[in-house]
Amino acid sequence: MERKFYTFLIFPGGHGRLRKIRLPFYCVHLLLGLSAIGIITVTALAGSYARMLLKVSDYNSLRTEREALKTQYRTLETVVSRTNAKLGSLQSLAAEVALTYGFGEPRRPRLSQALFLLASQSNFNVESSYNASLYAFRLMKGIGGNPPTNVVMQSLISDPQFGRGTVPSIWPVRGMLTAGFGQRMDPLSGEGAFHAGIDISAPSGTPVEATADGIVFCASPDAGYGNAILIDHGSGITTKYGHLSRMLVAVGQEVERGQVIGAVGTTGKTTGPHLHYEVHVNDTPVNPSRYLRG
């Protein structure tokens, strides 16, 4: 059987020697097949690389969009936090204004005008508030003592509602006021937040006193407050004491103004030993300092 060959003539140049290459028929077809396979492979790789580039481009676009959305979310979160803080302040102010002008809930007695006069006195300092409140407590217990010189506190003592001890007018613990009521920078999160009470710094174990007569409504751990006590004083007034190391009262127990109900601690979300103290009027937080120092 005669074998078929392909003959290739190579002319290297005018002065070169003519070369002749003979390849079998099947070798040429094999080379053509390999070339076709190579072209197909390169085309497939190029297509895969192009698709990968498109996916990377889409991924980068999605990542950029995600970062933009995260930035918008943080911005909205900040706006919501500030709005909530302002809303809390407005609710507190609305509650005080409503009570001042007699728009409170009809089923709850109105507070005395002397109490609101006390809240409006800017020259009523801390020490006079404490001494006057202590005198009121002694007077109700029949102990007596030197009367306070402040006219506002005298009117409070003579008021029948104050005489029942329902106004939280004494300091729950003696110490330094480290955080006030209203909007502030949260020491843990570093973001703006509404502070519904005041923080009074004192060593751990310092006795905490009830600021008015009432009934213990709650005495248990309460999330960020830690060990917390809630006392209902009637007339829509409640007080809350947070971060306690010990709770010395039980739910349903009657307490009197000045009675020790617990001890300062560091339970809950706190950066050090202190008492978190709140005053609520008709379930709305109000500034406790106005009842302590005017």
Number of Cβ atoms within 10 Å of the Cβ of 197: 24
User: Is it the case that residue 122 has pLDDT exceeding 50?
Assistant: no
Cα separations in angstroms, 169 against 12, 153, 250? 114, 10, 22
**Alpha-helical segments (H) within the chain:** 25-100, 113-120, 126-141, 151-158, 160-163, 289-292
Cα separations in angstroms, 293 against 153, 211, 241? 10, 13, 18
Find the mean pLDDT for residues 251-273: 91
What is the rounded distance in angstroms from the CA atom of residue 288 to the CA atom of residue 229? Answer: 16
pLDDT tens per residue, range 175-221: 888 888 877 777 666 666 788 889 999 999 999 999 999 999 999 99
Res. 62 pLDDT band, cuts 50 70 90: very high
CATH 1.10.10.60 fits 104-112+166-292, yes or no: no
